[in-house]
Structure 1
Amino acid sequence: MTRIILLLMCVLLALLEPETALATPNTETTALAGATESEAIPRPNYKRYKGNSRTKKRKLGFFRKRAARRKAMRKRRQKVTEPKGVIRVDKPTGTMPKSAN
């Protein structure tokens, strides 16, 4: 059934005259198109659609999580500095002048 319909459509298209099938430009329409192109029409500035911004990010998969953990561990190892501890200071030695009372 579909083959017969397809065959009939092909025959119908073959019988069409090429002049009527092709669109010929009209002189009035080309004059109007040229006038609109020459005029400076400001175009609206619309913001670009960024999708649904309310969507949450998915949890990382096993391999991505493992790679992120390895990267964090590597960074932590590179940042090793002196261990933080108590700063010891000697007692002050008479830097204040005695009062003359």
Structure 2
Amino acid sequence: MYKIVLLFLCTLFMLFEPDAAQAAEASLPTTEAESSLYPKVPRPNYKRYRGNSRTKKKKFGYFRRRAARRKAMRKRRATPAPRKGVISVDEPKGTMPKNN
């Protein structure tokens, strides 16, 4: 509603002062010589485009979590756990003769 009223007021003011509206349009550069005064400068790009990596991954749903858990359990059962705290050492191999 407010946009319609604002648009209506703008057109109403343009009807009252058409010379001012036309003067604003006339001030824009129209020829090449006038447009060369304001050369186009590329916008600086400070951040490199990183694709769609800024989106946060959504948490898995119930069924996907269950499937991932089952897969992890199967993988854990397939590979035996390493023995912790046990150090196995081979017998020393020396060249000196044994004393009897």
Measured against the shorter chain, the TM-score band is 0.3 to 0.5
TM-score (norm 2): 0.35
Structure with more contact order per residue of length (Cα contacts < 8 Å, sep ≥ 6) = 2
TM-score (norm 1): 0.34
